């Protein structure tokens, strides 16, 4: 494969990683509920510091994952296969959970949600976001399994940097979007009406991709 072909292959891999990460971001979890609660209570400014903490947590995980991928997968093909299959299994499992949540959907209240811990100071809000991002089981499982399975072996430095920047920008944009959307009760109500469809589409795509990763190298 010539240089142009390799570059296009890396760009395709980056787009695939971005697409899967977007699905992970779109599925409701601790990040979603913390930010939506703060926005609904009129605390958008503090929520932005939570977003910075969450983005820092995402950068932490992608850097840790990249360090592991760069050091191990290129030297141990068998380990690379194990990681690929593990990541594929995780994609299928996570997608199945999203599909099940779409089938067994229970409507959520659309009124304001009260924050449990009162008003956050800026530093406390940042720490909340950072700890939530670093300790979130969903994020940890994604970065240590599915991400490793998607990341190409022997990737050049520019690709690693592009991955970090892509993840940081996507995390920042998505979580800031949540604070904006859920700052308005009407917009929150509209999103909740399509949440079931979003979970179903994302879950189906993840299951298909997981099966594809198990079958194809």
- For the segment 18-51, what is each residue's pLDDT rounded down to a tens digit? 988 888 888 777 788 778 777 776 677 888 999 9
Q: Nearest CA to 188 among 55, 45, 32, 24? A: 32
The mean pLDDT of 192-213, rounded to a whole number, is 76
| Percentage of the residues of the chain whose pLDDT score is greater than 70 | 77
Burial 126-152 (b: 16+ CB within 10 A, else e): bebbbebbbebeebbbbbbbbbbbbbb
For residues 116 and 44, give the distance between their C-alpha atoms in angstroms, rounded to a whole number: 16
Res. 195: pLDDT tops 60: yes
Phi, psi of 151 (to 5 degrees): -75, 130
Res. 170: pLDDT tops 90: yes
This prediction has a pTM of 0.67
Res. 70: pLDDT tops 60: no
For the stretch 145-161, pLDDT in tens is 777 777 887 788 899 89
Res. 86: pLDDT tops 70: yes
Q: Nearest CA to 48 among 132, 126, 102, 138? A: 126
H-state helical runs in 27-43: 30-40
Question: Do the beta carbons of residue 70 and residue 175 sit within 8 Å?
Answer: no
Q: What's the pLDDT score for residue 172? A: 95
């Amino acid at each position: 494969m010539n240089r142009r072909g390799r570059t296009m292959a890396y760009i395709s891999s980056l787009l695939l990683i971005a697409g899967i990460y977007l699905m992970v971001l779109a599925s409701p979890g601790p990040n979603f509920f913390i930010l939506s609660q703060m926005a609904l209570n009129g605390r958008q400014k503090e929520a932005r510091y939570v977003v910075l903490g969450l983005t820092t947590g995402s950068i932490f995980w992608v850097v840790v994952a990249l360090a592991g991928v760069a050091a191990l997968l290129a030297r141990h093909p068998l380990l690379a296969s194990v990681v690929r299959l593990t990541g594929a299994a995780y994609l299928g499992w996570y997608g199945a959970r999203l599909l099940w949540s779409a089938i067994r959907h229970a409507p959520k209240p659309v009124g304001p949600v009260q924050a449990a811990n009162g008003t956050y100071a800026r530093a406390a809000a940042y720490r909340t976001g950072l700890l939530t991002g670093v300790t979130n089981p969903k994020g940890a499982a994604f970065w240590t399994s599915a991400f490793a399975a998607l990341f190409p072996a022997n990737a050049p430095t520019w690709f690693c940097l592009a991955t970090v920047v892509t993840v940081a920008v996507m995390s920042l944009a998505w979580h800031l979007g949540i604070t904006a959307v859920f700052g308005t009760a009407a917009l929150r109500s509209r999103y909740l009406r399509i949440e079931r469809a979003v979970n179903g589409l994302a879950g189906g795509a993840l299951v298909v991709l997981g099966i594809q990763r198990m079958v194809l190298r």
